[in-house]
Structure 1
Amino acid sequence: MDNYTLFFSVLLSLLPISELRGGIPYAYFNGVSLFIATPLCVLTNALVAPIVYTFLATFHRIFHTHWKWYASFFDRFVARAQRRVYPKVNKYGYWGILLFVAIPLPITGAWTGTLGSWILGLDKRKTMMAVFGGVIVSGLIVTSLVALGVGIDSVFIKRI
C-alpha cells in the first residue's frame, strides 16, 4: 500500500461517476485491505454532500444575481423538476434519498442525491444525513461484492 493508491482511491471516491464504487475496488486491487479501503472511501464519499451544497449555494447566488438568462433557465428548470419529481420525493421523503444513494450504480450516488435535494429545496441537514446513510449502505454493498468476487478467504489476508 502506498500513498499514491490511497490518494487515487480518495479521488475516485470524490468524483461524480465513480464515487466509492470505484474507490473501494481500486484500493483493494492495489493492495489496500478492505478494513482500510471501506471506511476511507465511505468517509470521503460522505464529504460530497457538504461540498455540493457549498458549491451550489455559492455559484447559484452569483449566477442568479448577475446573469438573467441563468435565472430564467434555472427557475423554469426547478419549477418543472418540482412538478415532476416532488410527489415521489414527498411520498418517500428522506428514506427515498437514502435508498437512491445506496444503490451502487452510475448516477445513483451522493452527487445526484444531493443535487436533486438541493434543486427541490429540501432541508440541508436532513439531506446530508440521508446521503451519509446511503453512502454507508452503498459502501457495505460494494465491499460485499468485492469480497464475494475475490473469495472471502482472500479478502482479509494481506495480498502478496
Structure 2
Amino acid sequence: MEYIKLLFLSMIPIIELRGAIPLGIAMDLNPIYLYITCVIGSSIIAVPVVLAFRQVIDFFRHRKYFNKVIRWVDKKIEGRAKKLKTASIIGIIVFVGVPLPTTGSWSASALASIFKMRIVDAFFGIFVGNAIAGAIMLTLSMHVADGASIELILIALVAMVLALYFMKKRKKNKENISVN
C-alpha cells in the first residue's frame, strides 16, 4: 500500500520523485521497488501533462496579449527546428536528470510543449531524466539515512550548481568574443 501512495505522491508537482524517494527511504521501504515505483509515477504523468500544456498554449495563442509572445517563440523555434530536436531531447534529459527544485516532469512537460516536441521524444527524455534523478536521489537518501553528513551533501550540490553557472558564463563569454 505504501508503494501505491508513493506512486501517486511522485506524480504531484514540486514533490515528484525528489520528495517521494527520501520519504520511502525514511519509511524503510525496499530501495529497488521504491526506485521503480517513483520513476514510473513521475514519468507516467508526463504524457497527459504535455497534452494539457499544449491545450493551454493553444488557448493563449488566441488571446490578444499572449499571441505576440507565442508567435515570437514559434518563430525562434521554427528557425532552429532540426538543431532543437536533438538538443531538446538531451536538454530534457539533463533538465530532469539534475534533481534540483522545479526541474521535474511537470516543468519538462511544459518545456516539451513549448518546443513542440513529439510526445514520444518528450516521454523518452523525461523518463531517462527521471531514471537519472531517481538514482541520484536514492543514493543521496540512502547515504543520509546511513548517517552521512547532510552538510557534505549540501556543499556538493552547491558546488555542482556553481560549476554549472560558471560553465554557462564561460560559454557566453566565448560566444561574445567570437561575435566581436
TM-score by length of 1: 0.74
Instruction: Name which of 124, 127, 146 aligns with 2:141.
Output: 146
Listed one character per residue, the Cα deviations across residues 3-25 of structure 1 (whole Å, up to 9, x for unaligned) are 2x334312321111011011111
AA matched with 1:123: R
AA matched with 2:102: I
Aligned to 2:166: none
- Distance in 1 separating the partners of 2:10 and 2:99: 12
Aligned to 2:105: 110
Instruction: Name which of 100, 103, 106 aligns with 2:95.
Output: 100
Evaluate the alpha carbon distance shift between residue 78 and residue 123 of structure 1 in structure 2; reply closer, same or farther with a 3 A threshold: farther
Of all paired residues, the percent bearing the same amino acid is 22
Give unmatched runs, 5+ long, in structure 1. 153-160
Instruction: Name which of 67, 70, 76 aligns with 2:69.
Output: 76
TM-score by length of 2: 0.67
Give unmatched runs, 5+ long, in structure 2. 148-180
Are 1:129 and 2:124 an aligned pair?
yes
**Per-residue deviation at 1:134?**
0.4
Listed one character per residue, the Cα deviations across residues 25-53 of structure 1 (whole Å, up to 9, x for unaligned) are 11221231112111000011111211212
Paired positions, count: 143
- Distance in 2 separating the partners of 1:136 and 1:41: 9
AA matched with 2:44: L
Instruction: Name which of 39, 44, 48 aligns with 2:41.
Output: 44
AA matched with 1:79: W
